[in-house]
Structure formats: C-alpha cells, structure tokens
Copies of this chain bind each other. A is one copy, B any other.
Amino acid sequence: MNYDFKDLAKHLGVSVGTISRVLAGRGDAARISKATQERIQTAAEKMGVQPNELARSLRTKKTRTIGLLVPDIANPFFASIAHYVEQRARSAGYSVLITESQELVEKEGEAGRLLFNRRVDGLIVAPVGDESSHLEELRLKGLPIVQVDRVFQSLQITAVVTDNFNAARQAVRHLIERGHRQIACLQGKAGGSVNQERVRGYLAALAEAGVPFKEKWLIGGSHSLESGHFEVTKMLNQKSRPTALLAISNMLALGTLKAARDLNLQIPTDLALVSFDDHPWTVLLSPSLTTMAQSVEDIGTLAFNELLAAIQATKPPSVKTIVLPAHLIVRESS
C-alpha cells in the first residue's frame, strides 16, 4: 500500500530519476524512450504511485499553494472572493490555504507568518486594522502578496480594490437626487482604507451638493450586524432623525433593517437606505436593497491573476493598484 518512486523504480528495474522525469511529465523533454514511459505510466497507475508533493515542494521550492487571509470566511463578501480565487487557483494548478484573521491584527500577523513558514508561493490578503508592518516583513522576505478589498497605500504591494470613494459618492448622490438632505452614514471600523474612502466619498457628495455635514450622523465603528443594529437604533431614537442612511457594508445594512423593523419604521418612507454589496438574497429582502455592487468575481479573479504573475515573474513586477468600479443598483430601499 502506498508505494513511492523508489518502490516503483525497484519494481521496474529503472532508477528513481527516470520515474521522476516521467511522472513529472518531463519524459519527452528528458528523451525517455516511449517504451519506458509507457511501462512506468502503467505500472504507476497499477500500483497507485503518485508523487509526494511535500517532498517535491521541498526540493523545488515551489508548493503550488497560495494563502488566502481574510477576516471572516462566513462573511458572504469574503466567501465569494474565496470562491473565485479558488476557481482560478485550481485551474492554474494551485491549492488554497485559507485562514481567518478574525479582524485582529495580531491574528493576521501570526497567520501570515505561518503561511510563510509553510512556504506558500504567494498570499492574497484582505488586511485588517491599521498596522501593516507584518505584511511589509513578508514582502521583504520575498513573498509575493496581493491585497484585496482593504489596502495599505503605504505598502509597495499590488492591490485589487473597488473604487470606494466614487462608489460612496455615487450612492449619496443618488440619495440627494431623491430629495434627501438629512443623510447619515453608518461606518465600520474606522481606520481601514475601505471605510476611509467610503466616508470620504460620503462627505464629498454632501459638500458638492451643498448639504451640511453633521458629525452626529456619522455613526458606527464595527462591521458586525449587531453593531449596525445598535448604532442605528440609538440614532433613530433621537428627536432629530436623518431621512436617509448610507450603510457602508452588507452586514451593517442588515443591522439597519433590523433596527428599522424593531422601531416599526418603514424603509424607505421613514428612512431611505443605500448599502454595499449584492448577493442573491439582497433583492429578496424586505425591502429589497438599493446597493453599490462590487464585482467580487473581478476582485477574486484579478487578484489571483496578479499574484500568479508575481509568482512567475523573474524580477519583482511593478506594483499596481487595480481599481474596479462599483455600480449602483436601485431597488425599493431608496
């Protein structure tokens, strides 16, 4: 049971080198005779001999494995990205080691180090927090990295991101066109690039329309549904309420829906809502959500493509930031 190249070599009376060449598909290149190739292939099949990828990796210094480091794989946004990354990876012959940072910088650092020690060929990361030294360290050790979603501009690391500034700006413009002037913004964890850009877009749209910004209407501080629920409830319980809200992520939109439902407020009548991300159920919510859809497929696919290019490059490729547009989908909530 479970034979290796050596067993097969002994069995056929050839050297392990020959086995290696043939089973690695380099038989022709190494000018192994058709006959031996045939013999080896059939015997390998019959004995169930398959290469130990571990040994192969140790020798070749290539694992054909990449790491994917996201805050939470149960979050549909990251799950979708993982899906597309996995698809592209697989079709390019790569496997994916997935790890969650759980929104914690320390976990992210730890996980990154482990992934490096496992010698992944590259890393796709949706960074959390505002500390990036651990990523810089990995980059300096020669690990190809691509950032997705969130990004550190300070880093010399390629990124694939949505144009969050313009996405938020467009979302708020839409609300303004609908006649709203009292527009709140429910943000996630402050500090992250996504959050920053979206808030910036929110402010820009207000300014452009001459709508004054009220500090008390910039609420929130975490990306969880519960946080959104809590913060929106608090805000809607005040005497002076906004007539519209920009929720900066999918989970925050769900929290908002819950809060409105609890308080018996109608969306969009009492509060118009625009959110981010589109999922199969977004259209089936009550009310269906107006949203700025990011193309998770593009993000995942392009991220892997960029990573693969970096892995295969002989010299460090130029650092780019790929910015993808989001598009507005108007539904009942606004």
Residues of A at under 8 Å CB distance from B? 1-2, 48, 50-55, 57-58, 63, 65, 72-74, 76, 79-80, 82-83, 86-87, 90, 95-100, 111, 113-119, 140-142, 225, 251, 254, 257-258, 261, 280-281, 283-288
Contacts and interface: CB of A to CB of B under 8 A. Distances in A.
Contacts of A115: 95
A73 B90 CA distance: 13
Contact of A2 (B63, B97, B118, B142): B142
24 contacts: A2-B141, A2-B142, A50-B116, A52-B119, A53-B118, A54-B58, A54-B118, A58-B58, A72-B83, A73-B82, A74-B79, A74-B83, A76-B79, A79-B82, A86-B98, A87-B100, A90-B111, A95-B97, A96-B97, A98-B98, A257-B284, A281-B281, A284-B286, A285-B285
B51 A117 contact: yes
Contacts of A82: 73-74, 79, 98
Contact of A285 (B83, B111, B281): B281
Contacts of A287: 286
A86 B80 CA distance: 17
Would you list the 4 A-B pairs with minimal beta carbon distance, nearest first? A286-B286, A74-B83, A79-B79, A53-B118
Contact of A99 (B57, B90, B117, B285): B90
A137 B281 CA distance: 39
Contacts of A117: 50-53
A162 to B, nearest CB: 18
A261 B284 CA distance: 9
Given A73-B79, A286-B286, A113 B53 contact: no
Contacts of A285: 281, 284-286
A95 B86 contact: no
B76 A76 contact: yes
Nearest to A114: B95
Given A55-B58, A281-B281, A95 B73 contact: no
Contacts of A258: 283-284
Contacts of A111: 90
A73 B2 CA distance: 31
Given A53-B118, A73-B83, 5 more contacts: A48-B141, A72-B83, A73-B82, A95-B114, A285-B285
A313 to B, nearest CB: 18
Nearest to A282: B281
A296 to B, nearest CB: 9
A251 B225 contact: no
A9 B284 CA distance: 63
Nearest to A110: B90
B74 A100 contact: no
